[in-house]
Amino acid sequence: MEQTRRGFLGHVMRGGVAGTAALAAFNPDGLERVLEASQAVAGRSPEDVAQDEFYWREIQGAFTLDRTIINLNNGGVCPSPRVVHEAFKRYLDITNQSPVYHMWQILEPNVESVRRQLAREFGCDPEELAITRNASESLQIAQLGLDLKPGDEVLTTDQDYPRMLTTWEQRVRRDGITLTKIHFPVPPPSQQYLADMFEKAITPRTKVILLCQITNLTGQIFPAREICRMARARGIKTIVDGAHAFAHFPFVGRDLECDYYGCSLHKWLTAPVGTGLLYVRRENIDGLWPMQPAAASQADNIRKFEEIGTHPAANHNAIAEALVFLRGIGIERKAARLRYLKNRWARRLEQIPGVRIHTPFDPAQSCGLANVGLDAVDCQKLGDHLWTRFRIIVVPIKRDDYQGIRVTPNVYTTLDEIDTFAGIVEDVARRGSV
């Protein structure tokens, strides 16, 4: 029997993903199925695997979902795989036995293991990484913790996340700083254009640059390293908004050369809701004030940014399972799949008169997040139509310079769901009305 089993496994491995479903049947656990499926495609290019529906069926099966809804707003918050959600619930159950002991003495100390694993995946020293509740908290720690004087200038764009712009605007009112919001066309001519516009906007008063690694509105990827390197040469601090970047496409945190970096983990990493990370370059920790006061003895300790009072340990401890799930797929494969899904609907719709794709197809400038607008149809009406008639969730985005719907699938999204969405928008575009 054992020889027969080994022979079958070898046949499946040699045959690639055609046998993945049979291979996965040996273990009913979702994570094991993902790991075995990924082993079966080892050696194949990410672009090849991106189109292999046998493989992605195993990934899709690792989630417990409501398939009566087509969720194309995973950029807001994404469901966790079953293995992550089960770990989260398990930690809550352990906590509830006696929180003062089980949560504070058993679970909370294990955050250090999560810190080490998360730092390895992000690409930094663990002593430079704090675990937070979301991107907003991470970025506001940097925005509000910097010492700035009246007249000091902050550079950003008019397409940064509203909460981050609101934070700077409060500092304008409170501290008398100057906020300069740079406008850029959608889509921009090139990444070099984006780097140049920041450089040209710098003045002798510029102290900080806040930039999106990838915008939440259109999915435009910025040349973050070039901008951060340019700023560093001029003594300007850089804060990178990576809310939609980490676990979306490959990069190494330290290679960005930024001073501060914040992101959510309940988006593309599929960690539990209410998890994020803050990176602070080591030499900047001491000079950055935490949002909630910490002891002077913690001045140069990254953990001072985690002093938020009593909070659940379950959320941040389950991040470890989300990291295992990501590694099981591989970030290169994941990014290739997300681009494949984006291109499938966007290439179809771009052929139709009156349709505007606001996101570049260049893989260096976009991944799975994209924005599409119809000249003849208001984006809010289109979004309402998709939801009320077809239970498809997208994000309408209406600005003075462009309007459209943001579309963000994830690894559990099926081709049928993508094609259903594209077909409906295609019909609306050809009619010119909902």
The ranges assigned to domains in the chain are 2-62, 85-323, 333-431
Greater confidence (414 vs 29) lies with 414
Q: Is the pLDDT of residue 337 over 50?
A: yes
- What pLDDT digit, counting tens, does each position of 341-386 carry? 999 999 999 999 999 999 999 999 999 999 999 999 999 999 999 9
Interval 331-346 mean pLDDT: 98
The DSSP bridge partners found for residue 73 are 408
Measured CA to CA, the distance from residue 218 to residue 236 in angstroms comes to 27
In this prediction, residue 33 carries a pLDDT of 85
In this prediction, residue 29 carries a pLDDT of 57
Contact yes or no for 367/342 (Cβ under 8 A): yes
Sheet containing strand 395-398, strands side by side: 355-357, 370-374, 403-407, 395-398
Q: Is the pLDDT of residue 6 over 50?
A: no
In this prediction, residue 21 carries a pLDDT of 34
- What pLDDT digit, counting tens, does each position of 276-300 carry? 999 999 999 999 999 999 999 999 9
In this prediction, residue 133 carries a pLDDT of 97
| Count of Cβ atoms closer than 10 Å to residue 192 Cβ | 11
Q: Is the pLDDT of residue 18 over 90?
A: no
Q: Is the pLDDT of residue 393 over 50?
A: yes
Measured CA to CA, the distance from residue 280 to residue 352 in angstroms comes to 46
Kindly report the CATH class assigned to 333-431: alpha beta
One fold for 85-323 and 333-431: no
Sheet containing strand 129-132, strands side by side: 129-132, 276-280, 260-264, 237-241, 206-212, 153-157, 178-182
CA 180 to chain centre: 26
In this prediction, residue 17 carries a pLDDT of 35
Q: Is the pLDDT of residue 231 over 80?
A: yes
Handedness of CA 11, 12, 13, 16 (dihedral sign): positive
Measured CA to CA, the distance from residue 271 to residue 428 in angstroms comes to 35
Least confident residue range of 4-13, 142-151, 385-394, 425-434: 4-13
Q: Is the pLDDT of residue 1 over 60?
A: no
In this prediction, residue 372 carries a pLDDT of 98
Least confident residue range of 22-26, 28-32, 134-138, 315-319: 22-26
Measured CA to CA, the distance from residue 118 to residue 292 in angstroms comes to 23
pLDDT category, 35, cuts 50, 70, 90? confident
Contact yes or no for 409/422 (Cβ under 8 A): no
In this prediction, residue 30 carries a pLDDT of 72
Looking at domain 85-323, which CATH architecture does it have? 3-Layer(aba) Sandwich (3.40)
Interval 237-242 mean pLDDT: 98
Half-sphere exposure (CA, 13 Å, Cβ side) for 329? 34
Cα dihedral value 151, 155, 157, 158, nearest 10: 0
Measured CA to CA, the distance from residue 55 to residue 48 in angstroms comes to 11
Question: How high does pLDDT run on average in the chain?
Answer: 93
Helix (H/G/I), strand (E/B), else coil: 350: helix
Q: Report percent pLDDT > 90 for the chain.
A: 91
Give yes or no for a cis peptide into 187 (omega within 30° of 0).
yes
| Count of Cβ atoms closer than 10 Å to residue 307 Cβ | 15
- What pLDDT digit, counting tens, does each position of 64-106 carry? 999 999 999 999 999 999 999 999 999 999 999 999 999 999 9
- What pLDDT digit, counting tens, does each position of 182-224 carry? 999 999 999 999 999 999 999 999 999 999 999 999 999 999 9
Q: Is the pLDDT of residue 141 over 70?
A: yes
Interval 241-265 mean pLDDT: 98
The DSSP bridge partners found for residue 372 are 357, 405
In this structure, what token pair is assigned to residue 133?
Answer: 């509740």
What angle (nearest 5°) sits at the alpha carbon of residue 145, between those of residues 142 and 151?
100
- For the chain, the first-to-last Cα distance in angstroms comes to 60
- b/e 204-223 (16+ beta carbons within 10 angstroms → b): eebbbbbbbbbbbbbbbbbb
Measured CA to CA, the distance from residue 305 to residue 142 in angstroms comes to 10
pLDDT category, 32, cuts 50, 70, 90? confident
Contact yes or no for 302/280 (Cβ under 8 A): yes
E strands within 223-290? Answer: 237-241, 260-264, 276-280
